Structure 1
């Protein structure tokens, strides 16, 4: 049995780990928005007003990450493999968009966002039975 088989016992566990990544990033972003901003290689705002705006935007992003992570975790806990597969497919969308935003803003930074996209898509496809 392949690890990407829809019946693989490891596949949901790996998906749970991938789903926990945005949860952990989100918690870090709520507690330390400037650290999350810096880890994305974004330029540091120079005025107090722009720093407050950047902190607020990072907290909004952090809240989104927490919701996505908790949703994936709840689906994993419930044991619904098909729904977890769809959650992984959906989860792949936000780092792809984040990567596009990063590319537009700083001309790079894709390494922070895009690696999870094929992993989540592969997990989702496996859980949905698309890979055998």
Structure 2
């Protein structure tokens, strides 16, 4: 059976794993906000005030990631393949926007954000039955 088939037993599990990634990234950001800057090649703030603001912004984004990860996990746990498919499609919006922000801020960094976009769209399309 084709892995991206809407009938695939593996497809929802892969989607659950991919959907849990924001949860893990969010937990890391809450616990280690400065590590997030280094992982996406953003410039390190140079003053204590700027560092506090940057840490606060990372924690806000981390909370967003945790909510996204938990929501996706709840949908997977409930077993609704169609809703999980739509969640994957919607999930693809965040790394696309994050990539655009990165491009604007540092003139690059797309490698940290964009590779997941076709993955989640493929998973979503498969779960929605668009691929067979």
Instruction: Output the TM-score relative to the length of structure 2.
Output: 0.99
Residues in 2 aligned to 1:51 and 1:92: alpha-carbon distance in whole angstroms: 29
Q: 2-side partners of 1:37 and 1:79: how far apart?
A: 35
Name the structure 1 match of 2:47: 47
How many residues end up aligned between the 2 structures? 132
Partner in structure 2 of residue 92 of structure 1: 92
- Structure 2 counterparts to residues 70-85 of structure 1, below 5 A: 70-85=70-85
**Structure 2 residue runs without a partner (length 5+):** none
Could you report, residue by residue, the CA deviation over 1:52-102 in whole angstroms, capped at 9, with x for unpaired residues?
000000001100000000000000000000000000000000000000000
Structure 1 runs of 4+ aligned residues shifted over 6 Å read none
- TM-score normalised by L of structure 1: 0.99
RMSD of aligned Cα (Å)? 0.4
- Cα distance, 1:126 vs structure 2: 0.2
SS in 2 for 1:42: coil
Question: Deviation per CA, 1:25-45, whole angstroms, max 9, x where unpaired?
Answer: 000000000001111100000
In structure 1, C-alpha distance between the alignment counterparts of 2:68 and 2:59, rounded to whole Å: 14
Q: Give the match's secondary structure for 2:45.
A: coil
1:1-132 equivalence runs, <5 A: 1-132=1-132
